[in-house]
Structure 1
Amino acid sequence: MDDRMMQAVLYDRYGGPDVLYVGRVPRPEPAPGEVLVKVRAFSVNGGEVTARSGRLRLLLGRRFPKRVGLDLTGEVVAAGAGVTGFTAGDLVWGVLGRTGFGSAAEYVTVSADRVGRLPDGLDPVEAAALPVATTAVTALRHKAGLRPGERLLVRGAAGGVGSAAVQLGRAYGAEVTALARAANLDFVRGLGAHEAVDHRGVRPAELGRFDVVLDTVGTDLRTFRHLLAPGGRMVAIAFDLGRPLASLGYIAGSAVHGRGRVRFFSGDPRQADFDALARHVAEGALRPAVDTVFSSLEETAAAHRALEAGGVRGKYVVRVA
């Protein structure tokens, strides 16, 4: 077998999960400042599903084939010039960041400042559910400044970021209310939510007031912003894909007004964020929430299909055989 080539998940046109296939592409070599990682596992994220479907085609263009996979766990194979913090054999986790997709592959190169060492004793496959948790840490700690005793509402609490936010909110001393599907209420209670509410069975106004609202859904932001108590903060990590311009316009407009504004950001974690994540794991404040492990690259389409169907509890993870 030619070791200059590798398997990766590709697609040649926008569409449903069935457009995904496993093909052969050149194995990358690490540039200065990068590490080459043999991928153990990756998770499926909403952003890449949105990209694959074509809803971002104006931004992503029509150059194919395109790749999927945003985060990863794996083993360092080689380090490029100037990399001093990692050596061959180190187990790491990371996120490709805004540079694009591509972790659904046997190997990937990634900037050394976008990975961190995997905590001792954490299974690399299960750990693939956690890189996205850096978004929850940033949202609660740095964007919202969540304090002990405050009321926290997590919308989309059973998903990847939401399930991490419930755990971290509890660890940070907040009183956590989790909004999720009825079938997932016991799941989010098990993560530490003080109250779990079926989002289809209650009107938002009935939920009361909150010091912090973390929204992972992106729709009806105006409605949930009105739940903020005086001095409250709202952080959104998604926008309404059905009305993207109106949604982004509302977020931008709210940011001008200061009090009660919506803080919107897209996760772009660096090594310090992964180090913080490792500390939370070591302290027992955070554990992987894995819904299903798919056994090989060939099952990536099935993982995309499952995420689109809804009802995920934590993350769908794909093992790279």
Structure 2
Amino acid sequence: MKAVQITGFGRADVLRVNDVERPAPGAGEVLVSVEASSVNGHDVIVRSGELKMVSGRRFPIGVGLDFAGVVAGTGAGVEGYRVGDRVWGMVHPRRRHSVAGAAEYVVVSTERVAHAPADLSSVEAAALVVAGSTALIALRDSVHLADGERVLVRGAAGGVGTAAVQLAHAMGGHVTALARDRHAELLTDLGADEVLDYRSTVSEQIGPFDVIVDTVGTELHCYRSRLGKGGRMVTVGLSPSALAAIAASSVHGTRRIRTFSANPETPLLRDLAGHVTSGALRPVIDRVYPLADIAAAHQAFERGGVVGKHVVTVPRSSL
């Protein structure tokens, strides 16, 4: 089968679509025929070598954090999944994988997969696995957004940002989206009550907010100061400066800057599917690439300016 792997750390040109042996599911595992995966910051960081402590230095290393497709086989003891079921899921982000989501087939534990929403194609589902899960964890589990609270979503036009705007709106938040002004129409349609152009917005002139969801990872101390009494802030845009700001904010109690590593398992994926089914959440896709062009997808992601997600499809006959 075909699988995207890296044989050395570096830029997008180290990505290779290799011929590898098709995996077989073990006890408690399912074999998924992958139809789509998406490009995530985690994939780029692993490829660059910044996560050597997690991925290790033993090559090849598989690429692709998430996937959507069809169950192609089950291991011993698996219940609740049959061949032909449409599923979505995610490989474990803190383990090394020689084959991951950007491949024709992937094997995962049943704890890391769930039935995909019936109304979504695999391309649409792949666009929501990581972005939607991250936004849901941030709003529901990290800052505990309550009905009527004022929410700022920073980096609102990206994958996590577009999901956060929708979920915050569905949870009853009054949503201010910070993004380029050309994305105002889309973000308003997704549920933003106000859209501000980040290039002309001075942080000191906005707020106060009850909740801030940051996907950028810079100037965190400036935005943390825009929290009102009892306000909460969470960032998913990690960088050395972000980690320093998170550590420094620990003295501020509830107004500290929180972060987490999204690692959704079946219950959260089911909850996410519920938001899709209810109409509260829909995918936003910037561009779709064939697996053979995954290097171009990574390059586009790194250039920035993405609206929603870059998705990679896995055609069987074109490679």
With normalisation by structure 1, the TM-score equals 0.92
What CA distance in whole angstroms lies between the structure 2 residues aligned with 1:247 and 1:135? 17
Stretch moving more, 253-262 or 192-201: 253-262
What CA distance in whole angstroms lies between the structure 1 residues aligned with 2:256 and 2:270? 30
Compute the displacement of 1:59 (Å): 4.9
Unaligned ranges ≥5, structure 1:
1-5
1:253 to 1:34, Cα distance in 2 relative to 1, 3 A = farther
1:197 to 1:118, Cα distance in 2 relative to 1, 3 A = same
Q: Which residue of 1 aligns with 2:295?
A: 301
Write out per-residue CA displacement over residues 254-297 of structure 1, whole angstroms, 9 at most, x where no aligned residue: 34542311121010111111111111111110011111111x21
What CA distance in whole angstroms lies between the structure 2 residues aligned with 1:40 and 1:129? 12
Secondary structure of the 1:10 match is: strand
Q: Which residue of 2 aligns with 1:128?
A: 126
Give the partner amino acid of 1:74: G
Q: Which residue of 2 aligns with 1:3?
A: none
Structure 2 residue corresponding to 1:103, chosen from 101, 104, 109: 101
1:161-180 to structure 2, matched below 5 A, reads 161-180=160-179
| C-alpha contact 2:72 2:83 (8 A) present in aligned 1 | yes
Write out per-residue CA displacement over residues 88-129 of structure 1, whole angstroms, 9 at most, x where no aligned residue: 111000111323451110000111011110112221122111
RMSD (Å) for aligned C-alpha atoms: 1.5
Secondary structure of the 2:129 match is: coil
1:231-246 to structure 2, matched below 5 A, reads 231-240=230-239, 244=240, 246=241
| Number of matched pairs | 311
Write out per-residue CA displacement over residues 51-97 of structure 1, whole angstroms, 9 at most, x where no aligned residue: 21233345534322222100010111111122112111110001113
With normalisation by structure 2, the TM-score equals 0.93
What CA distance in whole angstroms lies between the structure 1 residues aligned with 2:53 and 2:184? 37
Secondary structure of the 1:200 match is: coil
Q: Which residue of 1 aligns with 2:215?
A: 216
Secondary structure of the 1:188 match is: helix
Give the partner amino acid of 1:23: N
| C-alpha contact 1:15 1:54 (8 A) present in aligned 2 | yes
Give the partner amino acid of 1:122: L
Structure 2 residue corresponding to 1:49, chosen from 36, 41, 44: 44
Give the partner amino acid of 2:101: S
Secondary structure of the 1:92 match is: strand
| C-alpha contact 1:32 1:81 (8 A) present in aligned 2 | yes
What CA distance in whole angstroms lies between the structure 2 residues aligned with 1:273 and 1:59? 23
Secondary structure of the 1:308 match is: helix
Secondary structure of the 2:233 match is: strand
Structure 2 residue corresponding to 1:118, chosen from 116, 119, 128: 116
Write out per-residue CA displacement over residues 168-222 of structure 1, whole angstroms, 9 at most, x where no aligned residue: 1111111101111233333222211111111111111111210000111111211
Structure 1 residue corresponding to 2:63, chosen from 58, 62, 68: 68
Secondary structure of the 1:258 match is: helix
Unaligned ranges ≥5, structure 2:
none
Structure 1 residue corresponding to 2:271, chosen from 271, 276, 283: 276
What CA distance in whole angstroms lies between the structure 1 residues aligned with 2:158 and 2:69? 23
Give the partner amino acid of 1:38: S
| C-alpha contact 1:36 1:76 (8 A) present in aligned 2 | yes
1:117-196 to structure 2, matched below 5 A, reads 117-132=115-130, 133-196=132-195
Stretch moving more, 132-141 or 118-127: 118-127
Q: Which residue of 2 aligns with 1:316?
A: 310
| C-alpha contact 2:294 2:312 (8 A) present in aligned 1 | yes
Stretch moving more, 105-114 or 16-25: 16-25
| C-alpha contact 1:184 1:311 (8 A) present in aligned 2 | no
**Are 1:207 and 2:192 matched, yes or no?**
no
What CA distance in whole angstroms lies between the structure 2 residues aligned with 1:166 and 1:207? 18
Secondary structure of the 1:307 match is: helix
- How many percent of aligned residue pairs carry the same amino acid? 52
What CA distance in whole angstroms lies between the structure 1 residues aligned with 2:53 and 2:129? 28
Give the partner amino acid of 1:315: K
- Which runs of at least 4 in structure 1 moved beyond 6 Å after TM superposition? none
| C-alpha contact 2:34 2:67 (8 A) present in aligned 1 | yes
Q: Which residue of 2 aligns with 1:88?
A: 83
What CA distance in whole angstroms lies between the structure 2 residues aligned with 1:97 and 1:130? 17
**Are 1:18 and 2:13 matched, yes or no?**
yes
What CA distance in whole angstroms lies between the structure 1 residues aligned with 2:12 and 2:228? 42
